[in-house]
Amino acid sequence: MATFTLPSLFILLSLLSVAHSGSIGINYGRIANNLPSPAQVVQLLKTQGVNRVKLYDTDSNVLTALSGSNISVTVALPNEQLSDAAEKQSFTDSWVQSNILTYYPKTQIESIAVGNEVFVDPKNTTKFLVPAMKNMYASLVKYGVAESIKVSSPVALSALGNSYPSSAGSFKPDLVEPVIKPMLSFLKQTGSYLMVNIYPFFAYAANTDTISLDYALFKDNKGVTDPNNGLVYKSLFEAQIDAVYAAMKAVGFGDVAMAVSETGWPSKGDENEAGAGADNAAAYNGNLVRRVLSGSGTPLKPNEPLDVFLFALFNENQKPGPTSERNYGLFYPNEQKVYDIALTKEGLENGPTMNNGSKSTVVTAPQPAAAPVSSGGDVEASKVGNTWCVANEKASREKLQAALDYACGEGGADCRPIQQGATCYDPDTLEAHASYAFNSYYQKNTRGVGTCDFNGAAYVVTQHPKYGSCKFPTGY
């Protein structure tokens, strides 16, 4: 087992600086057979301004795609490996070498989630959790990266025996001595934080007779007053967070920080899943982002802004369970938004007000665009000085495909509109798709010299190319 020391002053200052600004990240789950490539996903995250992502494994393709992206990454050791990680440090040594040091620091790994919701794991892996966390930390120390990479474990809200009122929050008695106290002690000693998965949707769906939908969705409501301390809660999310804070304080660890490792609302559900739907999902996530990025904390801890990972990036078509499980995504697999919400402060300033969910835009499958009247498509008169980049119809298919792959991958072009089902997918021809991608790359690079060539696969035009209703952007 490792010997622990208090974090250095540098780490404490770093944690304090982070704590003064709430942050939004996204869980990138991949239980699906129709998702875009990791390189496309990284580009999507960038275009949305998302700079934190949480994974459920250490997939090589994903970690390689995230290299050099400036996106902070949380990786995970799956529950299936907890017993091995707990049994011997040689296992975690090898795991860290293969899954962390191979990619770090080019891939900005910021934390390791050891297991996921271990207390509800049907295979009863709870006894392995804290020993596995300690061995993982000892391995990070051994390789000199423990100050930069935190170790934690996501806990389901069901770990609480009581959550109402918030001030009476407490952990289930059978968990306190065996695992809660040792885990919180470890987190405190290593300067880490507790990860908690919080879903007001579940509480609302099970208690529609007593919980207001407006209260669950951060909409205007009269609030709920805690009878023990008089604090007024305007959202179920904040009440649940403070119940966890109260539970930690009750076992002597009220000073351990917390991050919400999962939260979300499904855009679709079964008949018995009350509240599931796109409008409610847009209201919950949109208002949550606004709440988090406002910078303030909860009623119990107003000076500790929130760090939250939304669940999830995509709808995942192979997840088992009720319909809701496959419909938590902010995006469809074709990278179109399920509903339109901002994920950054800039987006909030320029986007619609989401407080009542009335202005959320639900994206439906776009109608196919008409085929162009000629190989060059329709033409609109351009404004003086505007230029566009299109595919060279004389280039070979191999050259066009290679250039298209580069533009949509490493080149960073916005290729979402040419994904299947999106606005510029039709006409489904290599030349049309390549033209759109080439022009996106060209405009994103401010029409610089040499940015519309692709080894002879493209050239500049002065008339605005347009395939049916698909208009090519002039600038970004």
Residues acting as catalytic residues: 117, 262
Enumerate long-range contacts of 139-142, CB under 8 Å, 24 or more apart. Answer: 139/89, 139/92, 139/93, 139/95, 139/96, 140/96, 140/100, 140/112, 141/2, 142/93, 142/96
Contacts of 104 (CB under 8 A, 6+ apart): 145, 149
Residue with tokens 């997939």: 59
Distance CA 14, CA 387 (A): 46
Distance CA 380, CA 461 (A): 12
Continuous H helices in 190-229: 200-206, 213-216
Nearest to 119 by CA among 163, 175, 173: 175
Question: What DSSP assignment string belongs to 408-449?
Answer: HTTT----GGGSTTSTT--S--HHHHHHHHHHHHHHHTTT-T
Residue with tokens 């271990």: 118
Q: Which amino acid is at 343?
A: L
Structure tokens at 332: 């469809």
Beta strand pairing call for 257-263 and 307-310: parallel
Residue 282 near residue 357 (C-beta atoms within 8 A): yes
Nearest to 186 by CA among 97, 90, 114: 114
Contacts of 434 (CB under 8 A, 6+ apart): 391, 400, 401, 403, 404, 407, 457, 458
Residue with tokens 């009269």: 222
DSSP letter for 331, please. Answer: B
Contacts of 141 (CB under 8 A, 6+ apart): 2
